């Protein structure tokens, strides 16, 4: 074979090896995000913790607060099960980190009490509100003082979701910009042509006006800057902005003059959407419908990255799928709407549809085969004093009401046989903690969030399987990709091989001459 042909084939093979992606499947939601910002916070021992200086390349990041009445202890105990189930080798490669969302209350001393109570020692971090806010923003976590108080007391509306396997979680109404845009455009009967990719939704056409393929102009998302008193092009995509904080949206052809559009009428104005066309004509629409269960459902599910789809019929909208899980075509089961009855302290099947259920506080979606008594009560209505053992044989606390009441057992205890209101000693600590609330826990690959687990009803074994897979990918990279990296080494090897053959060729030619 001609030596140049051999070089070409070898180079092609090496470069293909360098660029071949590794396929993997995770049980949680796989993310594609940029690196988070580096940060330095203070742990429960009053010591500084700088993320980039951690000894581990794989981290589990949880967001908790110590006044949290149930979900935070559940997440903490579930993560403890994950940690305890790791092999010694993997455990050395993983750092668990919990970050407070309630820095006003969670001092290092308070975090120390929390970690001692749960018999854990991984870093629990707090710090200045400004630093923490940067951390929340980087992770895409929405944290507000009112939300913390709502978690403890009673405030914002929530949606409790029970999936087809009976797992439950509770999510708060925190719509992103795309959901707000979707609701407004739908009510205005506007057509939006959009595609969804790595960076979220990209709008190419509005009401039949399409941006040209040569990108001589494009549809630009604009947010009103109160400081400058003008509309400015958003630095974030429509999926990344807060739909409540930025409820007045302007889509403008990039070649137009946005000063032609008047300012929003104030913070109390209805959510609105405005379109500024390439010829500088415009039209707008403000939300007319009262806040109803449809808005609550869309806004809550979108806040944790879950899709929800509805069909329209003579009786209004009907929920057809949640998180891409649709009710079967034979209607052997379907998604059923429930409302919380504050008089009986129980869930009731809703007697009206989502469009007619106005100003809802607590709703639940579950397969119609679900026993309503087994749907967890809204978290903010539950007793807040969980630190003192209550009943449960003195080894746990009660949760829920009616037939759904059950014990949350302490470490080393589980339900007695056939009795969910008792806690008996067990030899192993593989206890499942199941309770509903909205939160997100991240598995980090370096500085990048790689896997997200929403809610708190996930199983420790499933979470651990994802964690072990990330550790394995890191270990594989470390062993086969020493500095400066496998891709680099393959490429250099290929180039060196080519250079060597070229050198031999040159020498042969010289000898022949």
What pLDDT, on the 0 to 100 scale, is given for residue 210? 96
First to last CA, the chain: 22
For residues 101 and 65, the answer to whether their CB atoms sit within 8 Å is yes
Q: Which CATH number fits domain 31-156+437-480: 3.40.50.700, 3.40.50.170, 3.10.180.10, 3.40.30.10?
A: 3.40.30.10
User: Sign of torsion, CA 137 142 144 148?
Assistant: negative
What pLDDT, on the 0 to 100 scale, is given for residue 400? 52
For residues 124 and 62, the answer to whether their CB atoms sit within 8 Å is no
Matching residue, tokens 């680099």: 488
Torsion angle (degrees, nearest 10) of CA 143, 146, 150, 154: -160
Task: Take residue 433 and report the two structure tokens written for it.
Answer: 């903690």
For residues 71 and 384, the answer to whether their CB atoms sit within 8 Å is no
The H or E element containing residue 417 is none
Q: How far apart, in whole angstroms, are the C-alpha atoms of residue 156 and residue 390?
A: 28
Report DSSP state, residue 2.
-
Q: How far apart, in whole angstroms, are the C-alpha atoms of residue 252 and residue 429?
A: 58
Q: How far apart, in whole angstroms, are the C-alpha atoms of residue 200 and residue 203?
A: 10
The model scores a pTM over 0.95: no
For residues 59 and 125, the answer to whether their CB atoms sit within 8 Å is no
Report DSSP state, residue 47.
-
Q: How far apart, in whole angstroms, are the C-alpha atoms of residue 353 and residue 189?
A: 21
Q: How far apart, in whole angstroms, are the C-alpha atoms of residue 419 and residue 413?
A: 13
- Residue 326 phi/psi, 5-degree rounding, is -100, 150
Residues in the chain: 513
What pLDDT, on the 0 to 100 scale, is given for residue 308? 92
The H or E element containing residue 500 is helix 486-512
The H or E element containing residue 346 is strand 346-349
What pLDDT, on the 0 to 100 scale, is given for residue 364? 96
What pLDDT, on the 0 to 100 scale, is given for residue 471? 93
Interaxial angle between packed helices 177-188 and 293-303, expressed in degrees from 0 to 180 and rounded to the nearest 10? 150
What pLDDT, on the 0 to 100 scale, is given for residue 426? 63
Low pLDDT (below 50) residues in the chain: 1, 4-23, 153-154, 267-268, 384-390, 401, 427-438, 480-513
Report DSSP state, residue 176.
B
Neighbouring C-alpha atoms within 13 Å toward the C-beta of 382: 24
Give the list of residues 6+ apart from residue 232 with CB closer than 8 angstroms, or none.
222, 223, 224, 225
What pLDDT, on the 0 to 100 scale, is given for residue 227? 83
Task: Take residue 38 and report the two structure tokens written for it.
Answer: 């580096």
Determine how many CB atoms are found less than 10 A away from the CB of residue 345: 11
Helix, strand, coil content of the chain in percent (nearest 5): 30, 30, 40
Report DSSP state, residue 304.
T
Q: How far apart, in whole angstroms, are the C-alpha atoms of residue 290 and residue 246?
A: 19
Q: How far apart, in whole angstroms, are the C-alpha atoms of residue 286 and residue 273?
A: 7
């Amino acid at each position: 074979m001609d030596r140049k042909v051999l070089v070409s084939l070898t180079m092609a093979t090496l470069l293909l090896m360098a660029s071949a992606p590794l396929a993997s499947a995770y049980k949680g939601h796989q993310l594609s995000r940029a690196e988070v910002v580096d940060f330095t916070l203070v742990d429960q021992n009053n010591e500084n913790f700088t993320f980039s200086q951690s000894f581990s390349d794989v981290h589990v990041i949880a967001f908790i607060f110590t006044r949290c009445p149930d979900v935070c202890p559940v997440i903490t105990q579930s993560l403890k099960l994950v940690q305890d189930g790791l092999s010694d080798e993997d455990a050395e490669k993983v750092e668990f980190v919990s970050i407070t969302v309630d820095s006003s209350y969670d001092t290092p001393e308070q975090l120390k009490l929390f970690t001692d109570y749960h018999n854990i020692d991984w870093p629990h971090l707090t710090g200045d509100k400004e630093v923490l806010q940067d951390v929340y923003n980087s992770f895409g976590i929405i944290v507000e003082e009112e939300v913390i108080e709502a978690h403890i007391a009673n405030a914002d509306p929530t949606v409790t979701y029970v999936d087809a396997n009976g797992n439950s979680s509770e999510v708060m109404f925190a719509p992103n910009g795309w959901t707000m845009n979707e609701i407004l455009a739908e009510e205005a009967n506007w057509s939006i042509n959009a595609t969804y990719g790595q960076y979220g939704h990209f709008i190419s056409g509005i009401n039949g006006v399409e941006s040209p393929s040569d990108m001589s102009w494009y549809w630009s998302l604009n947010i009103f800057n109160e400081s400058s008193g003008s509309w400015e092009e958003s630095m974030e995509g429509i999926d990344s902005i807060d739909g409540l904080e930025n409820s007045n949206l302007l889509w403008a052809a990039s070649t137009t003059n946005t000063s032609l559009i008047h300012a929003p009428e104030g913070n109390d104005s209805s959510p609105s959407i405005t379109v500024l066309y390439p010829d500088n004509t415009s039209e707008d629409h403000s939300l007319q419908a009262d806040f109803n269960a449809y808005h609550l459902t869309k806004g809550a599910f979108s806040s944790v990255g879950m899709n929800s789809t509805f069909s329209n019929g003579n009786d209004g909208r009907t929920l057809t799928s949640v998180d891409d899980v649709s009710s079967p075509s034979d209607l052997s089961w379907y998604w059923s709407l429930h409302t919380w009855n504050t008089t009986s302290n129980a869930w009731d099947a809703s007697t009206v549809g989502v469009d007619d259920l106005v100003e809802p506080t607590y709703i639940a979606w579950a397969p119609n085969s679900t026993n309503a008594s087994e749907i967890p009560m809204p978290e903010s209505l539950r007793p807040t004093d969980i630190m003192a053992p209550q009943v449960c044989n003195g080894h746990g606390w009660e949760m829920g009401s009616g037939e759904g009441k059950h014990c949350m057992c302490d470490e080393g205890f589980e339900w007695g046989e056939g009795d969910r209101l008792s806690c008996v000693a067990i030899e192993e600590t593989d206890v499942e903690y199941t309770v509903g609330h909205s939160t997100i826990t991240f598995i980090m690959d370096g500085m990048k969030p790689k896997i997200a687990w929403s809610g708190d009803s996930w199983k420790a074994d499933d979470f651990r399987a994802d964690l072990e897979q990330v550790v394995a990918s890191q270990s594989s990279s470390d062993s086969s990709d020493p500095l400066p990296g496998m891709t680099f080494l393959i490429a250099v090897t290929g180039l060196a091989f080519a250079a060597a053959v070229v050198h031999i060729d040159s020498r042969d030619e010289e000898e022949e001459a």
